Amino acid sequence: MPEHPQARLTYLVKQLERAIRVAMEDITREFGLTPIQYTALSVLVRNPGMSSAQLARRSFVSPQACYEMILILERNGLVTRTPTAANRRVLGIAVTRRGVGVLTKCDRKMDELEGRIFATLDGADRRQFRDALTGCLAAIYPEIRRPL
């Protein structure tokens, strides 16, 4: 009987991504967010003052979708937009105190999720896995030099 080939790594990554996405949807829903909104808040808290165009590139969404998302986050009091010093026509986005609070609570649940997912990996294995994933992302998106 012929040996069955192992599953492709890309298939396993996609399966893991899908399982994580479903779990993230459950978590973010508790806080009135979508996974993309959660990702945007996470990016913005580390990079305050980004424009919506920059955020769209970092969040892998279209500028139009990002604009709509920012409007929703702003309407919900999670972000503010103010003109940047470099160009008064460009609005920099910042997470509000309320947004940081929501993000912090959501992060706790995400930490629990990551703990379950990566329970079989010790600290060194996690660092190696993170480096490997970052390298894989850089192979596809060379403009990304560090994790989002």
Q: What is the CATH number of the domain that holds 32?
A: 1.10.10.10
pLDDT score, position 145: 57
pLDDT score, position 86: 72
pLDDT score, position 83: 85
**Is 107 in contact with 115 (CB distance < 8 Å)?**
no
Domains contained in the chain, number: 1
Q: Is residue 136 part of a domain?
A: no
Domain of 59? Answer: 9-117
Q: Is residue 97 part of a domain?
A: yes
Q: Is residue 70 part of a domain?
A: yes
Beta pairing partners, 79: 95
pLDDT score, position 146: 56
- The pTM assigned to this predicted structure is 0.81
- The burial class, CB within 10 Å (0-12 / 13-18 / 19+), for 91 is middle
Q: Is residue 47 part of a domain?
A: yes
Q: Is residue 127 part of a domain?
A: no
Counting as low any pLDDT under 70, the low residues of the chain are: 1-2, 87, 144-148
Cα-Cα-Cα-Cα dihedral sign, residues 36, 76, 83, 45: negative
pLDDT score, position 58: 84
CA-closest candidate to residue 95, choices 147, 24, 28, 37? 37
Q: Is residue 147 part of a domain?
A: no
